[in-house]
Structure 1
Amino acid sequence: MNTRKIELLAPAGNLEKLQSAFHFGADACYIGGNAFNLRGMSANFKNPELEEAVKFAHNINKKIYITLNIFAHNKEIDHLPEFIKFLEGANVDGVIVADLGVFQLVREIAPDLDVHVSTQANNTNWRSVKLWKDLGAKRVILAREMSLDEIKEIREKVPDIQLEVFIHGAMCMAVSGRCLLSNYFTARDANRGVCAQSCRWNYKVVAENRPGQYHDVVEDEDGTFIFNAKDLCTIEFIDQLIETGVDSLKIEGRMKSIYYNSTVVKQYREAIDLYLKGEYKYDPKWLHELQTISHRLYSKGFYLGKTTEEDQNYNTNLSYSQTYQLVANVLEKRENNQYLLQIRNRLSVDDEVELIRPAGDPQKFRITEFLNTKNDETVNVVHPNTLALITSELEMEPKDLLRVKLPLGESESDIDKESN
């Protein structure tokens, strides 16, 4: 049995996602307020919601970190002190900062508030990590462009600071996400929370002396996506990543769905727990489950060595893949094995449904009938954004999920929809 603490850190774009992430095994969540963070298009948390999130987390011995990782201009600096004081009063467990001026401001206004240095700060060597430690940082979130050996060396050279690394989610073609493409093409600044993901667009080359002639950078009838990185997935070597000595393993995706978030958390939770018990053995089902969510093709990132063309998504036809769809989540259990469901996508009694719980494999079953909660009528089909009652012998808990297998060739976006 390994007594070492390893934090599994999940994203949360709203309170429902936060509660779901904790239900499936996250130790902590990182969230954003209405401003000062790099997910300006996410729902984010208003101040009362943020306070509610912290209270919810602390009641179940979990932690909340707040993203203050914007590269601030003067007008943001003027407004930050009030928000920092609010965060201190809300008893958050830490703030994530990229900008040196913001870091200094937090240290001055709330010296007891833990500061985590964002991956946007591009820390790739032990000297820079030590400097942040000497300045008062509690944790450094290392740049994504690092190998396992480099991380080990940082841990050996700077043993008295927490280290955090990304283990799953979207990768950026720019170093640690510091990209100007979106700002240049659309006036939406990636470093200020409104990235248009211009790196995912189709690009061609035009020679200056041959205007109007567009050439593919890579020969393909659909053009080329030369900046379009695959998604990071470390589940196949998560034991090696743990053995580098890092303290926190971070999942990317505050704008992803609860099905995405819960599924990713569950697989890594199981792998981490087996490692800590001294019983670790890679299970191919973890990767299989990570294929069920909406994702780009997977890459091992920089951890096992330099990236190659195999880590880029050159084929637009393979941009996203998904094999299952969330159709409902459990709201409450009632008498006589009845469960109240929130319906997320169309579901019929003819569909084979799988129950997803925090522990154990998916459980297949068929729903014999739905009871409409408004008029107590029995129905055979239910639709998104409605409530329905079912009867089942399977034991379910609030926040458990129900999914169905998608027909071959169907998929959906990984960005949340109202029904997802």
Structure 2
Amino acid sequence: MVLARELNLEETLEIARQLEGTMEVQVQVHGITNIYHSKRSLLQNYKEHQGRFETISREELSKEEGLFLIEQERPNERFPVYEDENGTHIMSSDDMCMLDSLHELMEGGVDSMKLESLLKSAEYNEAVIRSYRKVIDAYTVDPAGYEFQEEWLDEIRELQDPNRELSYGFFFKEQVY
């Protein structure tokens, strides 16, 4: 089961506990998050509506400095817009990074952790994989003696886009319905 990214850590661990032994649980632990999706090509349709019939290049839509939205209420947050053959996607303004809390998910029975690589360079993605591998290996070798090492985050921070904050997503937020 792929859990919603809006769940907090407590809810995630409770679901993993209830499904233990019956169904594997996957959560996203790193990267950009898709916050809106339309199967329509909204950007291309908008350009055509304006009478501009040139197509938007895939490179223009996939690079980090490509297209983005800015809300009036939050002018310092940029929401990347990505469009492909599946439609239009609006992405989160920050990148999730659960590296220092990954052991809590492992202890809690989460079976699979997704590292989202969309809109990132190969160099960045390789650094992320190396860092998460270090945490997983260190925890697996000695769960009782495991201690997070801050330098495991250094390579990610060095390559992180300065316009995109590393955050915990919803993992440590209380949801009010």
Calculate the TM-score normalised by the size of structure 2. Answer: 0.67
Q: Which residue, out of 55, 61, 69, partners 1:201?
A: 69
Which structure has more relative contact order (CA 8 Å, sep 6+)? It is 2
The answer to whether the Cα contact below 8 Å between 2:31 and 2:96 also exists between their aligned partners in 1 is yes
* Amino acid in the other structure paired with 1:301: G
CA distance in 1 between partners of 2:40 and 2:68 (Å): 10
* Amino acid in the other structure paired with 2:146: Y
Aligned to 2:77: 225
Ranges in structure 1 where 5+ consecutive residues have no aligned partner: 1-139, 189-193, 205-216, 308-420
* Amino acid in the other structure paired with 2:26: E
Aligned to 1:144: 5
Tell me by how many angstroms 1:183 deviates.
4.1
Aligned pair in 2 of structure 1 residues 181, 231: CA closer, same or farther (>3 Å)?
Answer: farther
CA deviation digits over 1:352-373, x for unaligned, max 9? Answer: xxxxxxxxxxxxxxxxxxxxxx
Alignment identity in percent?
Answer: 28
Q: Report which of the two structures shows the higher radius of gyration computed on alpha carbons.
A: 1
CA distance in 2 between partners of 1:299 and 1:263 (Å): 17
* Amino acid in the other structure paired with 1:225: E
CA deviation digits over 1:88-121, x for unaligned, max 9? Answer: xxxxxxxxxxxxxxxxxxxxxxxxxxxxxxxxxx
Structure 2 counterparts to residues 10-409 of structure 1, below 5 A? 140-159=1-20, 160-172=22-34, 174=35, 178-180=36-38, 183-187=41-45, 196=61, 200-204=68-72, 217-218=73-74, 223-225=75-77, 227=79, 228-278=92-142, 279-295=145-161, 296-306=164-174
State the superposition RMSD in angstroms.
2.9
Structure 2 residue matching 1:250: 3-state secondary structure: strand
The answer to whether the Cα contact below 8 Å between 1:181 and 1:199 also exists between their aligned partners in 2 is no
Calculate the TM-score normalised by the size of structure 1. Answer: 0.31
Tell me by how many angstroms 1:261 deviates.
1.6
CA deviation digits over 1:33-80, x for unaligned, max 9? Answer: xxxxxxxxxxxxxxxxxxxxxxxxxxxxxxxxxxxxxxxxxxxxxxxx
CA distance in 2 between partners of 1:236 and 1:265 (Å): 14
Ranges in structure 2 where 5+ consecutive residues have no aligned partner: 47-57, 80-91
CA distance in 2 between partners of 1:156 and 1:149 (Å): 11
CA distance in 1 between partners of 2:113 and 2:120 (Å): 18
Tell me by how many angstroms 1:156 deviates.
2.4
* Amino acid in the other structure paired with 1:167: V
Relative to total residues, which structure has the larger helix share, 1 or 2? 2
Tell me by how many angstroms 1:229 deviates.
2.1
CA distance in 1 between partners of 2:147 and 2:39 (Å): 42
